[in-house]
Amino acid sequence: MTTDTTTQGTAPDATTPGETILDARGVTMRFGGLTAVRGVDLTVNSGEIVGLIGPNGAGKTTFFNCLTGLYIPTEGEVRYKGKVLPPKSFKVTAAGIARTFQNIRLFANMTVLENVLVGRHTRTKEGLWSALLRGPGFHKAEAASRQRAMELLEFVGLAHKADHLSRNLPYGEQRKLEIARALASDPGLLLLDEPTAGMNPQETRATEELIFAIRDMGIAILVIEHDMRFIMNLCDRVAVLVQGEKLIEGDSATVQRDERVIAAYLGEPFEGAPGEEEAAEVERAEAQAEAQAEAQAEAAEAEAAKTEAAEAPEAEADTTTDAAPGKENDR
Amino acid sequence: MTTQTTAPETPSAPTTRNEPTGLIPLPEHIGRALATGGALLTAASTFLAWTWTSAFPGDLTVHGYPGGLQVLVLIGGVLTALFALSSYGIKGLGWLTPAGADAAIKLTALATFATAWYTVLAISIELGGVVNLEPGGYLAAAAGLTALIGALALPFEHPAPDPIDPDDSRWEQFKHKTAHRWETFKAVFATGTARPAGKLPSYAEILIIIAVMAIGLTVFTYGIGTPYSELFIGFLITVGLCFTALLKAGLMARISAITAKHRNITMIGAFVAAAAFPFTQSDDQYATIGVYILIFATVALGLNIVVGLAGLLDLGYVAFLGVGAYTAALVSGSPSSPLPIQVPFWASALLGAFVAMIFGVLIGAPTLRLRGDYLAIVTLGFGEIFRIAVLNTDGTSGPDVTNGSNGISSIPNINILGFDFGQEHTFLGFTIARFANYFLLMLLITLVVVVVFRRSSDSRIGRAWIAVREDETAARAMGINGFRVKLIAFALGATLAGLAGAVQAHVTYTVTPEQYMFAHVVPPNSAFLLAAVVLGGMGTISGPLVGAALLYLIPAKLQFLGDYQLLAFGLALVLLMRFRPEGLIPNRRRQLEFHENTEAPAVLSKAGV
């Protein structure tokens, strides 16, 4: 009976920090002739928050779906704690990977509490017979599930709305509920697909706090996001996906500096374009930006780490504005 | 409640458009007095003779004693009068109208008027002219009309009309105006929210539940026992409108709050009331109808697990009833059964359920990989495959198992521990005959199905069903094995239908393939079963029971419809789907799904009755 693990704060299979939890090797996903994801390697270690960014259509969500068993990768394999994941999404969840969706997929006509109880499904065992006969075991398990669900609702701050229909919740709270529902399956790794899409800055900050709190519970997190400020604050490591391929992986500073990343987000001048002076101008500007970035990096290295944290948002400000409108098309 | 705020504002009334006024321009106090007086007068008129000859069924010729349709008019009149007096604020009647009396007065007045006029017109037409009416009939018609006029003069909140776009075509403008008229018409019967209920001791609440059950039993017994179709139509008019009136008055909400608090007592009460039904009958005629309704309702309730909870549209469900019935018939010791064995009923019932479950799994395993409409089509096909396979295993086209179109006949009556279900028995002075015996047995099966439904829906597996119905992808991502839980729902539904089928085989003496078609004039068949679930309300317990009762009684009582029965059935379904897609007794969740734009209640305390 896994239902006994009701105490909050200890993930059921908390691992020693630094151990590789998720290991995706050479994941390739083809839809007919279209290769959406090409040979992506990604590891997530326990106690880590890893970000996955990239322009629209880069294959981030497809990659997510490969990890969670919604898609079966054409090539490559995904291991969770050393075991190859089965290609069924409910088995992946049972193995310990929980996810949220880019476009919120709550059970709209169930109450908030019921939504979280559905998340407990893999960690409870009572089947039809137990439900029909209603022995003492049934009541015990049901009570334990309820208690754990209420704990989780308290954790995300929705306990006072447990009896509301989930469709009646405001947008931000629906996101929180989705996270609570995912946490209900006691995961070792939580995949968040654009958790702050459509949120205002305050809500984004609250989500950030929430994700840190989840990390502190010993759950590793892989997050897709377009909000650069958010991702750079949050993540220990960031991987950039462009046109289905992993461009670069590293800490946020490295990724921010990388010219290919900037080019991928802002667009590269394509060769043979009319007006070579313009191209030259762009190149000059790029070189300048690079020099600037280098100078900044040197300055940052010279100075303490706190200043780096402060300037990172500034450097990303223009990138963010470019990426944000694209989000709407994605949903 | 909202409608009574007129008196102080009347002087400034003509300028504002949204001033609540009645549909008929009469002062409010006159309207209210007319409604009250008219209702009382109508009630009184039922004690007079309405016609001179007893040629019209029900004998309406007697002074001093209402009969037949007059009883219905009397009930309508008394209810109208009670609501009207309650709206005057008379002490001791306030509990009748927790959500305001005016809408209820209008509806009960309409019920009284419609029943009285229906009776008067039926007398005039059937006997050939208004000359056949006695003064009592004229009085009833006039008083009913007065009450209705008075009730319609009661003020209501007019909806504000949307401005008309002058560029619209004439047709567009016409549509616009019609829509507004419809809105106004709906607003006539709109009602306020119920005021909070006072606290009652729990013994009083239990007494209320018992009273409600007794009233329910009386109404049901009356409806089932209506001997001629005029009375049944009058019954439908009165009960339908009065029930709506009780709904609008807020009484139903109050009662359902009480029953939700004492769910077990309510269930026991309902079953005691249902079990009392055969004892209210002097002969076996209506117990026959009762047992067929119960079979139909039980199977519909089983289907409700599949359709209402798990959201799997199964159009071949009656096949499982057939599997259960054939299994029980084969081992019943019937002379036309190829198996020369006779097993006791408990064994054949379990066997029927078990074999139906096997068939459920066999049919479900390949088909449940499909979703939505595709599943519906495939189950429809499997339902027909069952019937044709049974038809063909007659010894000439295939092996001799089922006797083909002749079916298995002369199935012996059930005999449990020496209690022969075919014989009359006398308990405490009540004689209960064959069908009454089976009625009580079937009631037990219904109880089993109700308990299974309730317990499974309120558990881990029930939540998984609803989650799969709402969003299968998300449900799978939450760790639910969608295929497995759907197969469990499918097999469970099949098992319950097989159990009911085992009893059905004994009740009907004969099982033939024609009983298990997709669509047929006699329920139960797949189309009627689904209709009962949809009509009654998906995902509820009482919904399919009510839906099945109505769908069985209406064709049985309105024989004059003849060949038009299926047409009427289709029309009724279309109208229902247009105006009340969530069914007569809606599941709260379903109601919210279908009326997305209306304001949903913020708190759903107990989803799904």
User: Which tens digits make up the pLDDT trace of A99-149?
Assistant: 999 889 999 888 899 999 999 998 888 888 888 888 888 899 999 999 999
Task: Indicate the angle between helix axes B526-536 and B565-579, nearest 10 degrees.
Answer: 30
B231-236 average pLDDT score:
90
Are B142 and B129 in contact, with CB atoms under 8 Å apart? no
Give the minimum alpha-carbon distance from A94 to chain B in angstroms, rounded to a whole number.
Answer: 6
What are the tokens at A265?
């987000």
Whether the pLDDT of residue B580 is over 50: the answer is yes
DSSP string, A96-125: TEEE--SS----TTSBHHHHHHHHTGGG--
- Chain B CA closest to residue A119: B478
- Dihedral pair phi/psi, residue B587, rounded to 5°: -70, 135
Whether the pLDDT of residue B117 is over 50: the answer is yes
Contacts of B480 in chain A (CB under 8 A): 90, 118, 121-122
What are the tokens at A170?
């405001």
Tally C-beta pairs within 8 A across A and B. 123
A236-246 average pLDDT score:
89
Whether the pLDDT of residue A296 is over 80: the answer is no
Whether the pLDDT of residue B423 is over 70: the answer is yes
Give the minimum alpha-carbon distance from B95 to chain A in angstroms, rounded to a whole number.
Answer: 29
Q: E-strand spans in B124-218? A: none
Whether the pLDDT of residue A11 is over 60: the answer is no
The alpha carbon of A313 is separated from its chain's Cα centroid by a whole number of angstroms, namely: 20
Query: Cα separation of B280 and B470, whole Å?
Result: 44
DSSP string, B93-114: -GGG-TT-SHHHHHHHHHHHHH
Query: Cα separation of B232 and B373, whole Å?
Result: 37
Contacts of A117 in chain B (CB under 8 A): 460, 463
What are the tokens at A164?
């509301």
pLDDT digits (tens, 9 = 90+) for B141-167: 899 999 998 888 888 887 777 777 777
Do the Cβ atoms of A118 and B462 come within 8 Å? no
Whether the pLDDT of residue A54 is over 80: the answer is yes
What local confidence, expressed as pLDDT, does residue B325 receive?
A: 93
- Chain B CA closest to residue A138: B459
How many residues are present in chain B?
609
Give the minimum alpha-carbon distance from B159 to chain A in angstroms, rounded to a whole number.
Answer: 26
Whether the pLDDT of residue A272 is over 70: the answer is no
Of A53-62, A217-226, B5-14, which gets the smallest average pLDDT?
Answer: B5-14
Contacts of A141 in chain B (CB under 8 A): 460
Of A287-296, B222-231, B549-558, which gets the smallest average pLDDT?
Answer: A287-296
B577-581 average pLDDT score:
81
pLDDT digits (tens, 9 = 90+) for A196-209: 888 888 889 999 99
Q: Among A68, A72, A90, A114, which would you mutate to test the B interface (most chain B Cβ atoms within 10 Å of its Cβ)? A: A90
Percent of chain A surpassing pLDDT 70: 75
How does residue A247 score in pLDDT terms, banded at 50, 70 and 90? Answer: confident
Do the Cβ atoms of A128 and B461 come within 8 Å? yes
Question: HEC profile for A125-136?
Answer: CCCHHHHHHCCH
What local confidence, expressed as pLDDT, does residue A290 receive?
A: 64
Do the Cβ atoms of B475 and A107 come within 8 Å? yes
**B334 by DSSP, 3-state: which?**
coil
b vs e for B108-123, b when ≥16 Cβ sit within 10 Å of the residue's Cβ?
bbbbbbbbbbbbbebb
Query: Cα separation of B243 and B245, whole Å?
Result: 5
Of A53-57, B318-322, B395-399, which gets the smallest average pLDDT?
Answer: B395-399
Helix residue ranges per DSSP H, B425-481: 434-457, 460-470, 472-477
Query: Cα separation of B204 and B212, whole Å?
Result: 12
Do the Cβ atoms of A109 and B455 come within 8 Å? no
What DSSP state is assigned to residue B58? T
Query: Cα separation of A208 and A159, whole Å?
Result: 20
B445-456 average pLDDT score:
92
Query: Cα separation of A223 and B297, whole Å?
Result: 51
Q: What is the C-alpha R_g of chain A?
A: 22
Closest CA to A223 of A211, A205, A213: A211
Q: Which of A90, A142, A163 sits opposite B481 (nearest CB)?
A: A90
Question: B603 in the Ramachandran plot: left (φ > 0), alpha (ψ -120 to 50) or beta?
Answer: beta
Give the minimum alpha-carbon distance from B169 to chain A in angstroms, rounded to a whole number.
Answer: 37
- Dihedral pair phi/psi, residue B427, rounded to 5°: -115, 125
What local confidence, expressed as pLDDT, does residue B500 receive?
A: 93
How does residue B483 score in pLDDT terms, banded at 50, 70 and 90? Answer: very high
> ipTM greater than 0.90, yes or no?
no
In sequence order, the β-bridge partners of residue B603 are: A164
B312-335 average pLDDT score:
91
Whether the pLDDT of residue B43 is over 80: the answer is yes
What are the tokens at B363?
């049919």
What local confidence, expressed as pLDDT, does residue B419 receive?
A: 80
Contacts of B463 in chain A (CB under 8 A): 110, 114, 117-118, 121
Contacts of B476 in chain A (CB under 8 A): 70, 88-90
How does residue B304 score in pLDDT terms, banded at 50, 70 and 90? Answer: very high
- Quick one: B269 exposed, middle or buried, by C-beta within 10 A (0-12, 13-18, 19+)? buried
Whether the pLDDT of residue B609 is over 50: the answer is no
- Chain B CA closest to residue A67: B477
Query: Cα separation of B310 and B325, whole Å?
Result: 25
**Which amino acid is located at B217 in the chain?**
L
Average pLDDT, chain B: 83
Residues 204-223 of B with CB under 8 A from A: none
Residues 264-293 of A with CB under 8 A from B: none
Are B363 and B382 in contact, with CB atoms under 8 Å apart? yes
Do the Cβ atoms of A165 and B592 come within 8 Å? yes
Query: Cα separation of B197 and A67, whole Å?
Result: 53
Query: Cα separation of B116 and B72, whole Å?
Result: 9
How does residue B7 score in pLDDT terms, banded at 50, 70 and 90? Answer: very low
Check if B607 contacts A (Cβ < 8 Å). yes
B190-198 average pLDDT score:
72
Vertex A45: Cα angle to A39 and A48 (nearest 5): 115
Q: Which of B451, B459, B471 sits opposite A107 (nearest CB)?
A: B471
pLDDT: which is higher, B77 or B520: B77
Name the pairing type of β-strands A34-45 and A189-193: unpaired
The CA distances from residue B244 to B72, B113, B232, in Å, are 16, 15, 18
Give the minimum alpha-carbon distance from B302 to chain A in angstroms, rounded to a whole number.
Answer: 15
What local confidence, expressed as pLDDT, does residue B571 receive?
A: 86
What are the tokens at B192?
């306020």
What pTM did the predictor assign? Answer: 0.81
Check if B7 contacts A (Cβ < 8 Å). no
Whether the pLDDT of residue A6 is over 50: the answer is no
How does residue B62 score in pLDDT terms, banded at 50, 70 and 90? Answer: confident
Query: Cα separation of B486 and B468, whole Å?
Result: 8
Closest CA to A26 of A13, A11, A42, A12: A42
Check if A160 contacts B (Cβ < 8 Å). no
Query: Cα separation of A95 and B399, whole Å?
Result: 50
Give the minimum alpha-carbon distance from B321 to chain A in angstroms, rounded to a whole number.
Answer: 22
The upper half-sphere exposure of residue A228, i.e. CA atoms within 13 Å in the direction of its Cβ, equals 25
Cis ω for the linkage preceding B338 (within 30 of 0): no
Contacts of B492 in chain A (CB under 8 A): 128
pLDDT digits (tens, 9 = 90+) for A153-210: 999 999 998 888 888 888 889 999 999 999 999 999 999 998 988 888 888 999 999 9
Give the minimum alpha-carbon distance from B461 to chain A in angstroms, rounded to a whole number.
Answer: 6
Do the Cβ atoms of A118 and B477 come within 8 Å? no
pLDDT: which is higher, A78 or B3: A78
Q: Which of B452, B467, B593 sits opposite A132 (nearest CB)?
A: B452
Are B17 and B24 in contact, with CB atoms under 8 Å apart? no
What percent helix, strand, coil does chain B show, rounded to 5? Answer: 65, 5, 30
Give the minimum alpha-carbon distance from A49 to chain B in angstroms, rounded to a whole number.
Answer: 21
Are A102 and A331 in contact, with CB atoms under 8 Å apart? yes
Residues 446-505 of B with CB under 8 A from A: 451-452, 455-456, 458-464, 466-467, 470-471, 473-482, 488, 492
What local confidence, expressed as pLDDT, does residue B306 receive?
A: 93
Percent of chain A surpassing pLDDT 90: 28
Vertex B531: Cα angle to B528 and B536 (nearest 5): 125
Query: Cα separation of B248 and B192, whole Å?
Result: 8
How many residues are present in chain A?
331
Q: Which of B451, B476, B604 sits opposite A89 (nearest CB)?
A: B476
What are the tokens at A41?
């390697």
What local confidence, expressed as pLDDT, does residue B360 receive?
A: 94
pLDDT digits (tens, 9 = 90+) for A67-92: 988 888 898 889 998 888 888 888 99
Are B163 and B34 in contact, with CB atoms under 8 Å apart? no
